[in-house]
Amino acid sequence: MTLGKWHFHHNRGVRTSLFRSASLRIVDSRQRFVALIVGVLIASSGGLVLAAAESTLSKLPGLLLLLPGAIALRGNVFGSMGSRLGTATHMGTFGLSYRIDSVLVQNLLASGSLSLISSLILAILAKGTASAFGLSPAMTLADFIVISVLGGLLSSIVLAVVTIALSVGSVKYEWDLDNVVAPLVTTTGDLLTVPSLILVSFLADRSDLTNGLAMVIALVSAIVLILSLRSPLERFRRVFRQSIPVLGLAAILDLIAGFVVEKRLKDLLEVEAILILLPAFLGIAGALGGILSSRLSTQFHLGMDDASPLPSRSSLRGAIDLSVLAVPIFIFSGVIAHLIAVIAGQSTPGIVKLVLVSAIAGSIATLFVVVVAYYTTMGSFRFGLDPDTYGIPVVTSSLDLVGAFTVISAMVLTGVI
């Protein structure tokens, strides 16, 4: 081949490669956008349930303190499961097998055990936080345990089915799990967790019944904890042991976020559209971080990125793509929250102010997402830990804390409160 012909074929190959790269980015963006839009609609429905539960929130002081942690916990556990399955799919180790030692079943078992144990830990920490910060009156420890654990398990059953369905769909329809699991699982968790907690709250404040249920839950949780730590299933045991510390840290961050929200309960009840917006806002912020964390984890596992302290061009491109996508999503969240509030007869500060609150808070949160998602995922990978297990919980829970502050701050800046 002559030099001229080589240049022709080489340049054509470069153009073809660039074209394919651009096409893949368009497909990725389309999948993410659709998943996030669906996520906003799902989470806003959960927000409507929250806004309509004004009497329950007032009757059970401390319930709103528990809420961000309970919502995040579902996304942390099952979002991480989806991220691990996404990586397994890319690496060719995931299969639709229901054997006890399969990747799918071991992840399901780990997620179920983690959901139970973490819900109990969250309840204990929530009661401790309420006592430490003088949130009085507050629910009893038994009330916190019953609501957190039973409400959490109720939503976890449905969320496990959703995660499996998305995994099966990714194989069948060639979806990228890194693009769809984080937004759909975390926001579906928002939708399921809010009504589950409200529903189970009717078992609280019932004296002997509540205390008896709390004792049974504590006993079952202790048995599950021992069996999980000693399980002969290596993957299950590893996921469980690595997840418990990070989920505990995530719970603490979420409780601080819940405390911030609980202290402004009176203001929030006067502007119910914010309560509709809040689950969608926190869910989408966490989902954005989850998408970036899942994608980075896959790249690190496959050797497509060297996980260096300074982000590579590929990592920066992914972060920029996600940031550009975030702006219209947060604006859409504000519009939907206003429309739902108007239709449901809930109070709203107006579409302009609500969109401004969502856009201002969302812009700040997105900058935080990019930094935390990259360095959490990169750091866990470099220290030999599984970034699929660590990335999503740290990102989403950090975002809950930052998101709560930014929403309250944006409400003050725009004159909503």
Tens-level pLDDT at each residue, the chain (417 residues): 443 443 434 344 433 333 345 555 566 667 667 767 776 777 676 667 666 666 776 677 777 777 777 877 877 788 778 777 777 776 666 666 677 878 778 888 888 899 899 899 988 988 888 887 776 566 788 888 998 899 888 888 888 888 778 777 766 776 666 666 666 776 677 677 778 888 888 887 777 888 899 999 999 999 999 999 888 888 888 888 888 888 888 888 777 777 777 777 666 667 778 877 877 787 777 777 777 777 777 777 777 777 777 888 877 887 888 788 888 888 888 898 888 888 888 888 889 999 999 999 988 888 888 888 888 888 878 877 777 677 677 777 777 778 778 888 888 888 877
Domain membership flag for residue 20: no
Domain membership flag for residue 305: yes
**332 lies in which domain range?**
31-413
| Phi, psi angles (nearest 5°) of residue 5 | -65, -40
- The answer to whether residues 191 and 47 touch, using CB atoms and an 8 Å cutoff, is no
Q: Return the CA Rg of the chain.
A: 22
- The answer to whether residues 118 and 254 touch, using CB atoms and an 8 Å cutoff, is no
Report pLDDT for 337.
86
Vertex 252 angle, CA 217 and 109, to 5°: 45
Q: Of 198, 192, 157, 186, which is closest to residue 250 (Cα–Cα)? A: 186
Domain membership flag for residue 5: no
Q: Of 102, 275, 282, 74, which is closest to residue 181 (Cα–Cα)? A: 74
Number of domains in the chain: 1
Report pLDDT for 208.
83
Output the CA–CA distances (angstroms, integers) from residue 385 to 233, 272, 295, in the order listed.
Answer: 18, 42, 16
Domain membership flag for residue 163: yes
pTM for this structure?
A: 0.69
Domain membership flag for residue 167: yes
- The answer to whether residues 69 and 141 touch, using CB atoms and an 8 Å cutoff, is no
Q: How far apart are CA 151 and CA 193, in angstroms?
A: 7
Report pLDDT for 136.
58
Report pLDDT for 260.
72
Q: How far apart are CA 306 and CA 378, in angstroms?
A: 9
Domain membership flag for residue 11: no
Q: How far apart are CA 354 and CA 352, in angstroms?
A: 6
Q: How far apart are CA 351 and CA 359, in angstroms?
A: 12
What residues have CB less than 8 Å from 400, skipping those under 6 apart? 68, 69, 71, 72, 253, 254, 257, 282, 286
Domain membership flag for residue 19: no
Domain membership flag for residue 285: yes
Report pLDDT for 51.
67
Vertex 228 angle, CA 224 and 230, to 5°: 120
